[in-house]
Amino acid sequence: MSKKRVLIVGGTGYLGQHLLQSFADADSQLDLAFTHHSAPLLYAIPHVLSFPLDLRTCHGLDAISHAFAQPDVVINCAALSVPRVCEMDPEAAMSINVPTGLVKWLSSFGKSSLLIHLSTDQVYEGTKSFYKEEDETVPVNVYGKSKVEAEQYISAHCQNYAILRSSIIYGPQTISPVPKSLPIQWMDSVLAKGEPMDFFHDEFRCPVFVKDLVAAVQILTNQWITETKQVQLLLNVGGPDRVSRVQMAEAVAHARGYSTSLIKQVSASSVDRGVKSPCDISMDITKLVQTTGISPTCFAEGVRLTLEAEAKAKSSVKP
């Protein structure tokens, strides 16, 4: 029996690298490939093909068709995901975040593939707690609007899809370190200086531990490969805890033994970030748990695991 093919679009990003590593470690029965926009990974995973891809022009998809053929599963992690950057360049946000070319390319094969697409909690307006998947999407910024448009396009043009509305993703650094700041590591670094730091007390999220998100994607992939039943899923993917930035910082302080007096509470409305940010986009994850069977990691435990992994990585680096 021929191997099933999995393509990770945006494989050099934070989630993409965690997915690649986990798939490579877990299953030799899959042919893996990934795309990159700027530069390939600094480390190599054996037998994994990499392809340059520009989502704005879709230049690179033909090369994937020829060298890798039709993937059975495509996991789209690629996005312009910094809200302020999206606000400054709405055209780029829409052309990158709404995967029209990718969907058309998949449709061109005739035989159906599964598209697992990463969306965001920022599709919600942020005026209540614990949004459900069926709640109305009223995004307050360009990033959220681009992701709503992507969801609508995928649900209208894909036979088989799983749209995952992710909250803040946190966890250990990737093997090939990503340039963007990671939330737990950043909080640890600023609190370690022993100087007071401002954190928002009135913006709420359900941060998701990266390994839980990876597990959900792997479960959906395996179900599709095993059963090939029609899949049209929309899932909130968050952790079990609704927390503010203050509460996130407090969890880091408790784990590392820092004084919580360093954490100064300020309102999100007191800072101009150049983009409107929703106040409370915490999510109800009942459907995620029912569909995948995973038990998402509580935030305090996720922080502990993240900091342990960072300490282990540092100790393994020889001077």
**Structural domains of the chain in order of their starting residue, each with its CATH number:** 4-181+206-239+282-297 (3.40.50.720)
pLDDT of 12 higher than 70: yes
pLDDT in tens, 176-235: 888 888 999 999 999 999 999 999 999 999 999 999 999 999 999 999 999 878 999 999
| pLDDT value at 318 more than 60 | no
Could you report the per-residue pLDDT of 39-62, keeping only the tens digit for each?
666 566 777 899 999 999 999 999
Residue 134 has pLDDT above 90, yes or no: yes
Identify the band that residue 27 occupies on the pLDDT scale cut at 50, 70 and 90.
low
User: Distances in Å between the alpha carbon of 318 and those of 33, 135, 301, 302, 312?
Assistant: 31, 51, 28, 27, 12
Mean of all residue pLDDT scores within the chain: 94
The pTM assigned to this predicted structure is 0.95
Q: How far apart are CA 109 and CA 115, in angstroms?
A: 13
pLDDT computed for residue 94 by the predictor: 97
149-182 tens-digit pLDDT: 999 999 999 999 999 999 999 999 998 888 888 9
The pLDDT of residue 100 is above 90: yes
21 and 46 Cβ atoms separated by less than 8 Å: no
pLDDT at 57: 93
Kindly state the average pLDDT of the residues 100-115: 93
pLDDT at 80 over 60: yes
Q: How far apart are CA 129 and CA 241, in angstroms?
A: 11
CB 148 within 8 A of CB 120: no
Neighbour count for residue 36 (Cβ, 10 Å): 20
pLDDT level of residue 128 (50, 70, 90 thresholds): very high
pLDDT tens-digit map of 268-309:
999 998 899 999 999 999 999 999 999 999 999 999 999 999
Using CA atoms of 14, 15, 17, 18 in order, give the dihedral in degrees to the nearest 10.
120
Q: Collapsing DSSP states into helix, strand and coil, what is residue 200?
A: strand
